[in-house]
Structure formats: C-alpha cells, structure tokens
Amino acid sequence: MSRNEIALSAEAVSKRYRTRGKSLTAVDNVDLTLRSGETLGIVGESGCGKSTLAKMLVGLESPDDGEVRIEGKTMARGVRRFMATSRKVQMVFQDPYTSLDPRLTAGQIVREPFEIHRGVLPKAQREKRVAELFERVGLSPDHRNRYPAEFSGGQRQRIGIARALALQPKVIVCDEPVAALDVSVQAQVINLLAELQRDLGISYVFIAHDLSVMRQIANRIAVMYLGSIVESGPVDRVFDYPLHPYTQGLIDAVPVPDPEKAADRSSTLLGDVPSPLRLPSGCRFHTRCPIAEPSCSEQIPQLVPHRHEEHLVACEVVTGATSN
Amino acid sequence: MSVAALVTIALLALVAIFAPLLVDWLSLSAIDPDREHGLNQYGVPVAPSAQFWLGTDFVGRDVLSRILLGARNTFFIAIVSALAAILIGTCIGVIAGLYGGIVDTIFAAIIDFVIALPFLVVAMAVVVIHGASVGVLMLTIIVFSWSTVARMVRSLVLTIREMDYIKATKTLGATDLRIVVRHILPNIAGPVLTYGSLLIPQIIVMEASLSFLGLGIQPPNPTWGGMIAENQGNYAIAWWSIFFPGVALLISTLSFNLLGDGLRDAMTPGTRLRGRTRAERRSR
C-alpha cells in the first residue's frame, strides 16, 4: 500500500446541533485527508469540535454538509451503514471505563465483532483469533474470562484496541485514547499503537489535547479552534515553526520541565473560548488573538499554504504580512 | 436478613404449591361451612385449639386450611401479574428509551396517564362492568403495575444508550436487536429484578384490597384479603379469623420487600467484582 493513497477523507464537513432554538456549529466546513499508514493528529481545546469530527469520521454522526469518504467512496447513510464501514474504520474511545460493557467478559467483548460479521471467521476459529488479539495488544489470553472491572485502566484500553483491531480495519479513529490514563501507562498505550501501525499498516486519526503525546505519535497534525482547522501540516514543522497565533499559544502553554528556563508567557492564551452558540464574526480567534487587526473581525480567513506546501494556516495577518 | 427472607419465600412457595395436599391431610373444612364442628353451641367460632390450630371463621371453616389455600391464590396472582407487568414495562421502557423522540413522548404521556389514574376507583369500575373474576383482577393489576416498571426502564436505557460501549457496538455494525439483547437487557436486569421483587408485595396488597372490597377472587374460594373482609364483623369475638390472615400477608410482603432490598444492595455498587460478590454472599 503506498503512503500517498488516501485512506479516509472529510470534505467540507459541517455539523450543527440545535439547542433551544439556537444553532450550535460544532464543526464548520472542515477538510481532512488521512493517508494510508500515517497518523493524523487533531489538537484543540475542549469543545472545539474534535470529538464531533471523530464521530463523523466513524459514522456515529452524519455531517449536515459535506461528506466523509473511505478509500474514495462516500460513506453510506442510513441505519445499516455500519455493516459496510465497520470493517474499514473503527474507533478507540477516551474513557476505558464506559467503553467496555461491564456485563461481558473481556473475551466476549473482543469476540463480538466476529459474531456481528459472521462471514469473517468460522465459529471454530474465533476463540483462537481472540486469543491472538489478546496477545497482540499485550494481554494474557488467560484473562479472557475476566470482567472489565477486574482490569486496570491501561489494560481496559488494550481490550478496546483489540476490539477495534478484530475486523482488521484500515483506519482507527482514536478519540483521546490516553487522556484518562496515568502518564506511565499513556506511554505504553502509545507505544502499542505505534507498534500496531508499523506491523499492520493501520492509519490513525489521533485526537488529543496533550501536545507532547502528539509529537510522539503523529506524522501530521491539524489544530482546531471553535469547529475550524486553523493550522495543519507535518508535526515537526508545526511545532517548530508554528504560524497561527493560536498554535503558538498552545505550544507556549506546554509546561517546560526545566527550572532554569524562565517561562516565556508573552503569547500565553488569554480569556476564554467564546460560546459556540455565538461565534465571533470573521476569524473566530480574533477575540483572543495577540496580533489581531481590525480587518480580522470582518473576513473568515482561508486555510492556505505558507512557506511550505504542506503547512497550511488560516490567518490573514500571518499570510498577508509576508506576501507584502 | 435477605437470606432469611429468601428462605421464608421459598417456604411460602412450597406451602402454596402443596396447599391442597396439606389441606387434605388436615382434613378440616376449608371451603364448605361446617357449623357442626367449627362453631360452638352458641354459633361462636372456635378459638385456636388442638383440632383447629388457628381457630375457625364465622361459618366454622378452619382458618389454617383457608390460609394455605389462600397462599396459592395470592401467590399465583402476584407472581404472574408481576412477571407480566415487568415484561410489558421493560418492552415499552426499552423502546421509549432507545428510540427517543416522538416515540418516547407518546409512551411517556401514556405512562404518566396510567400513573395518574386512581387505582381503586378504576378497578371498581372495571369489576362493575366486567364482573369479578381472576382474569379481570389480574388484568387490572397488570395495567396499573407496568407503568412504573416502564418509567424506570426508560430512564435506565437513557443512561446506558449514551455509554461508549453502545457506540462501540454500533460502529461494529450491530443491529438494534443485538444492542438490546446483548448489552442493554443484561445491564438493566439487576434493577429490574430488584424492582420486581418489590412489586410482588405491592400486588399482594392490591389483590388483598380488591378482595377485601369483594372485587377479587369470589367466595367461598379463599384469599387473604378476602378472609379479612368476610370476618371483619366478628373481630371482637373471633380475633383469630382476621389476625392470622393478616399475619400471613405481613410475613409474605415483608419477606419480598427485604429480598428486594437485599438484591438492590447486592447490585448497586456497579464496579464490584463478581467473584467478590459471590464470596460475600457465601460468608453472610
């Protein structure tokens, strides 16, 4: 499989929710492409639409506008859509305590995909395959008869990963898969995900708010703010040369584990995220932006390449200043 | 405590099942009036004695024999009605909770409507129109019992359907039927069973109230509520004829309530390990 093949893409997807007569735009006109075998990180503060985007990518939510394509084919709509998508795209959830049915044993949870897709594997081979999956994610196959409550958070997340792997999907959407885990366990789970990618060629959409996690696993990242992508590009490029003032703020907010280094707080993000019920006009970020100009509140900036063909940014001030 | 309740219920169930045999063995009049042996020369019921252990009632029938036969009627009605109410309530609750929207609104309105109805008034009207029979009695009880089950199940399903494991199962391509049978029902079984064991004493009391008002099982066939009703005029001279059926009601409703409490305690801490729960039950 070539690295340039597109495994999953979102084209101009938007999602709006109605609450008490008001319309809340959770995801606004987002374009996204995930190539085979790569990891695309999505970062942003809570409530920026990351999880809604993830749900649309696996089909748990249907976009109001735009479409999600799996290997170039538009994702079907309707009740039975998961029968087709489930073998291509799977999801790993944030909270390992609610993502496993407490009444089923770990083995039953991992076997369920084969019971839903009966044709994938004959009954006689299922148990063996479940044992293999347990080993694959670093769990002892002897623990198949235990209930989720008998596992630790990290082990539970491994069960969730085994379930997602069962149908051999090309893409796994990970919605903050390590946010609920201890730091030491986070690294183990991330190493497992990286190992699976190397061995099985799986592509990840990896959602996180923790930038250090992102740098470990992502090839490319997209930074979201209030439902829109404000910057995207190769992970090193975005971290080393952040263009958008919001990205710079996020990176500066990461604590530096060095007491000698005085923290540079010049571009620390100020204020709160505006309510998505009343989005700011023009550039969504202008209310908190340290370099905002009067024109920023009038025009919505487009995501355009800047200084590097794959490094895209949506900021008129940044792109305008250098082109002049 | 709940173990004692369970033992009591098991004993009561055995008594109910073998009531006809026990009554034959006692060989005292249970259905037909026996003024010759059961009443003294002034027509007063016989007090508890070696022959009539719990005394006799106003027409000379053995109170113990009638309590035994009454257990059969009472338990049959209570258990069958409770099962039917739980079945109907669970189905409607699951549908309303799972599909939400207009379906939920309609079912919620029906549930509130049924809960708002005054039980005795409607029950009496139904019996006046259709006559008193076991079938009508049970139907009335079921109509009044399913709604609370449905309301509870609906709220449980509303919580569970937002769980990530339901979403995970959906993304695997599972049908709604599979999600309900494999994931929702096992997760609501605990609270529903607990509620069911609390519903049985409620139904026993409903049945007793209706029989007391003459709307339940018809005499001379005994039920506990009916026995209290037909002997209430004699309580001053034959206290035993209403006291012992009352004790039977009290013991059975109390046992079911205690069992329900025990079940609830055993099931509430959701994260408790199964193995440990079993071990605890053993040690208790």
Question: How near does any CA of chain A get to the CA of B196, in Å?
Answer: 20
In three-state secondary structure terms, A187 is helix
Amino acid at A148: P
Measured distance CA(A99)–CA(A198) in Å, rounded? 25
Phi, psi torsion values for A28, nearest 5 degrees? -125, 105
Amino acid at B21: L
Whether B164 sits inside 8 A of A116 (CB atoms) is no
Whether A86 sits inside 8 A of B171 (CB atoms) is yes
Q: A-chain residues within 8 Å CB-CB of B272?
A: 149
What is the end-to-end Cα distance of chain B in Å, rounded? 9
**Checking DSSP bridges between strand A89-92 and strand A171-175, what pairing results, if any?**
parallel
Q: Chain-wide mean pLDDT for chain A?
A: 88
Neighbours of B243 (CB within 10 A): 17
Measured distance CA(A256)–CA(A263) in Å, rounded? 7
| Mean pLDDT computed over A302-319 | 89
Q: b/e per residue, A243-261, with b = 16+ CB within 10 A? A: bbbbbbbbbbeeeeeeeee
In three-state secondary structure terms, A112 is helix
pTM for the model: 0.81
Query: Which residue stretches of chain A are H helix?
Result: 50-58, 81-85, 106-116, 123-136, 153-165, 183-200, 211-217, 235-240, 245-252, 316-323
pLDDT tens for each residue of chain B, 284 residues long: 788 888 998 998 898 888 888 888 887 777 877 777 778 777 788 888 888 888 888 888 888 989 999 888 888 899 999 999 999 999 999 999 999 889 999 999 999 999 898 988 888 888 888 887 888 889 989 999 999 999 999 999 999 999 999 999 999 989 999 999 999 999 998 889 888 888 988 898 888 888 888 777 887 888 888 888 888 888 888 899 889 999 998 999 899 888 888 887 776 544 444 444 444 444 44
Q: Which domain holds residue B112?
A: 2-283
The angle subtended at Cα B205 by Cα B265 and Cα B62, nearest 5°, is 120
Q: B-chain residues within 8 Å CB-CB of A95?
A: 164
Measured distance CA(B37)–CA(B56) in Å, rounded? 9
Q: What is the CATH number of the domain that holds B270?
A: 1.10.3720.10
Which helix or strand (DSSP H or E) is residue A305 part of? strand A304-305
Measured distance CA(B243)–CA(B249) in Å, rounded? 10
Q: Which of B172, B186, B274 sits opposite A86 (nearest CB)?
A: B172
Q: Which of A60, A94, A100 sits opposite B170 (nearest CB)?
A: A60
If one counts the domains in chain B, the total is: 1
Contact indicator for A285, A301 with CB cutoff of 8 Å:
no
For the record, the structure tokens of A207 come out as 């959602």
- Would you say the C-alpha torsion A144, A148, A150, A151 has a positive or negative sign? positive
The reported pLDDT for the residue numbered A295 is 86
- Candidates A128, A113, A125, A121; CA nearest to A160 is A113
Contact indicator for B85, B145 with CB cutoff of 8 Å:
yes
Q: B-chain residues within 8 Å CB-CB of A91?
A: 167-168, 171
% of chain A surpassing 90 pLDDT: 54
Please name every residue paired with A43 in a beta bridge, in sequence order, or none if there are none. A208, A223
Question: How many alpha carbons fall within 13 Å on the CB side of residue A74?
Answer: 11
Whether B171 sits inside 8 A of A60 (CB atoms) is yes
